[in-house]
Amino acid sequence: MELKEKELVELAEKNYSVLNLGPTHPATHGIFQNVLKMDGEIIIDSEPTIGYIHRAFEKIAERKPYNQITTLTDRLNYCSSPINNMAWHMTVEKLINAEIPKRAQYMRVIIMELSRIADHIICDTVIAVDTGAATGYFHLFQYREMIYEIFEEICGARLTTNIGRIGGLERDFSTMAWEKIQKFMSKFPAALKEFDRLVTRNRIFMDRTIGVGSVSKEMAMRYSFSGPNMRAAGIDYDVRVMNPYCSYEDFEFDIPVGTSGDTFDRFMVRLEEMWQSYRIIEQAIAKMPEGRYYGDVPDFYLPQKEEVYSSMEALIYHFKIVMGENDVPKGEVYHSVEGGNGELGFYLISDGGRTPFRLHIRRPCFIYYQSYPEIIKGGMLSDAILTMSSMNVIAGELDA
Amino acid sequence: MLVNELGQLVQDKLTLNFGEGSSKLEYHYDFPVFIVSKDKLYDILTFLKEDKDLSFKYLTTMCGVQFPNAQPELEFGLMYQLHNMEKNYRIRLKVFMPKSDLNMKSITTIWSAANWMEREAFDFYGFNFIGHPNLKRILNMEEMNYHPMRKEYPLEDATRHDKEDKYFGR
């Protein structure tokens, strides 16, 4: 639906209407405001306003001890909060040079890949809903529910998980958690295949998505895209491969890459990534090493309860950790992970105090959402809605 | 490539093109960090993007920082992080400036992605990016009359004393 330059100039002489899309609108799945300049149904220009749920995380983090910042990261991309939690833990572990046992790393990989699947389920099914196919949404959401039950079993929470600790995980997976993971692993492939058959080759779906909201390679680089959106544009950048963290180098998986960067490609990249995440989880379960689920990080990892009740040192450490009394080395560190929608990075400056001196969060959708006016320019309003849902813009992360 | 090899490579190139002492090299974990002068930053970033060997084509992130206890001319800073995806080079650049002169040449002409990042730095710290197409607040409301990430604005109520460090033996 791209308009040619000449046609746009002709349109410039007409009268336009201004349409206020959002801040709360059922079709935008979150709090986004766009003031659109419209010529009939064609978008001439738009201006996004963000910040409706700004909670000043970067400022709050300057007051909180390192352990307590995990709860803030939950509320960034709340569709895949375990990835954010673990990205934060790994940042601090990098700062204090902590060694994490393989078992803890593999457990983290399982949790992160499960949450990536949950994130992509939401995004892909919502694209289908916006084109009018609601069945896939209700069908696959059962499996997202199963993932949330696994999280519930591991850490006790579903959405804002606060999963894991600096130095490892809070506890080993219980038998019940393993059973739930196995149940999910056995049932999910059939459901995903069914969803694929239901939606991907559907004529209406293809007509609505192919060629809509295209992003070229050049544009993706210029706007610092990352994650599935960037791969859909044809650039095979994945943090898991380029700068492996958490033992991702031990696993074999492919990076799906699109060609035209349109809504259909973004959908397909996410669909394939779910299969790849499934593969990684399979390998992690099969190769799960024996050992401890936490590293030797006494300054940050709470000692076991039995020890706290019986030994003096453990009690002291427990008290110090809870009060945020431990020394942290001075330094500045950047650590990034492949989040649900792109490269999620934490830039942390520590001055040796109990709290970070400065924490800057590289939020992927804050960076790529600014290209939205350029993408939807000259397209139809209904395509703009679809483009937004296929970009997986999460309000919590956008506004931090 | 090891971090110090990369650091040396970029440092040599910068010295060759911008003269001796144009950048100061430090290492922080897996990143070489270059502290460059404020007025040269725009040219250096352009050079790093265009150079054939380095070609840092991707702006990963940028943000402002403030060190209230540092010397006055080093109080405010900006951090830029670049990435060369083909060779997996990652570097960080920093500039420092005094509070009296927070003007900075906008890099939106090099990377469109810098648009909102610069608006965020303006919103939080009050940096004035010269040449920015639309420099206004992004996350906070327009009516706000201060820059909240600055250290002179404490997070909590200033009348509250129960969380002072002295009560915790610090």
pLDDT tens across A153-193, in order?
Answer: 999 999 999 998 999 999 899 999 999 999 999 999 999 99
pLDDT of residue A1: 47
Q: Tell me, what DSSP letter sits at residue B166?
A: G
Position A249 scores a pLDDT of: 93
In chain A, the residue whose alpha carbon lies closest to the alpha carbon of B33 is: A332
**pLDDT per residue as tens digits for the range A245-258:** 999 999 999 999 99
A334–B81 C-beta distance less than 8 A:
yes
The distance of A161 to chain B (nearest Cα, Å) reads 25
* Distance of residue A41 Cα from the nearest chain B Cα, in angstroms: 26
Q: Three-state DSSP class for B168?
A: helix
Locate the chain A residue with the closest alpha carbon to B156: A63
User: A190 is written with which tokens?
Assistant: 């059939």
For residue B29, which of A356, A94, A88, A297 has the smallest C-alpha distance?
Answer: A94
A127 and A44 inside one domain: no
The amino acid occupying position A292 is R
What DSSP element (H or E) covers A169? none
What ipTM does this complex have? Answer: 0.91
CB contact under 8 A, A370 and B155: no
Residue A11's pLDDT is: 59
CATH at residue A127: 1.10.645.10
Does one domain contain both A248 and A110? Answer: yes
Name the stretches of chain B with pLDDT < 50.
none
Same domain, A61 and A27: no
Q: What is the pLDDT of residue B170?
A: 60
Distances (CA, A) of A361 to A109, A255, A324, A346, B67: 21, 25, 22, 5, 18
pLDDT computed for residue B46 by the predictor: 94
Q: Please report the pLDDT score of residue B89 as a whole number.
A: 92
Q: Are residues A82 and A24 in the same domain?
A: no
Which residues of chain B are within 8 Å of residue A368 when distances are taken between CB atoms?
113
Question: Do residues A48 and A372 touch, judged by C-beta distance below 8 A?
Answer: yes
Pick among B155, B163, B166, B167 to test the A interface (most A CBs inside 10 A): B155
User: What's the pLDDT at B67?
Assistant: 93
Does residue A240 share a domain with residue A117? yes
Q: What is the pLDDT of residue A203?
A: 92
Cβ A365 vs Cβ A119: under 8 Å: no
Residue A322 at interface with chain B, using a CB cutoff of 8 Å? no
Q: Are residues A225 and A246 in the same domain?
A: yes
Residues B116, A222: C-beta atoms closer than 8 Å: no
Q: Quick one: A120 and A200 in the same domain?
A: yes
- Find residue A38's DSSP bridge partners: A17, A43
Residues of chain A below pLDDT 70: 1-4, 6-13
The first and second tokens of residue A48, run together, are: 């996004």
* Nearest CA-CA distance, residue B70 and chain A, Å: 12
Show the domain range for A21.
Answer: 5-49
Residue B29 with chain A: CB contacts under 8 Å: 94-95, 331-334
Does B57 sit within 8 Å of A221, measured CB to CB?
Answer: yes
Residue A81 contacts residue A160 (beta carbons within 8 Å) = yes
Is the same domain home to A262 and A358? yes
Residue to mutate among B63, B75, B139, with most A CBs inside 10 A, is: B139
Distance CA B113, CA A222 (A): 6
The confidence score (pLDDT) of residue B84 equals 93
Q: Are residues A240 and A389 in the same domain?
A: yes
Sorted by where each starts, the structural domains of chain B and their CATH numbers stand as: 3-156 (3.30.460.80)
Q: To the nearest whole angstrom, how far is the Cα of B4 from the nearest Cα of chain A? A: 16
CB contact under 8 A, B79 and A62: no
**What integer pLDDT is reported at residue A140 of this predicted model?**
92
Q: Please state the pTM of the whole predicted model.
A: 0.92
Count how many domains chain A has.
Answer: 2
Report the pLDDT value the prediction gives residue A40, as an integer from 0 to 100: 86
H-type alpha helices, chain A: 5-12, 57-60, 70-74, 81-95, 102-130, 135-155, 175-199, 203-209, 217-222, 228-232, 239-242, 263-287, 305-310, 312-323, 364-368, 372-376, 381-390, 395-399
Q: Are residues A29 and A74 in the same domain?
A: no
CB contact under 8 A, A63 and B155: yes
Contact (CB<8Å) A59/B31? no
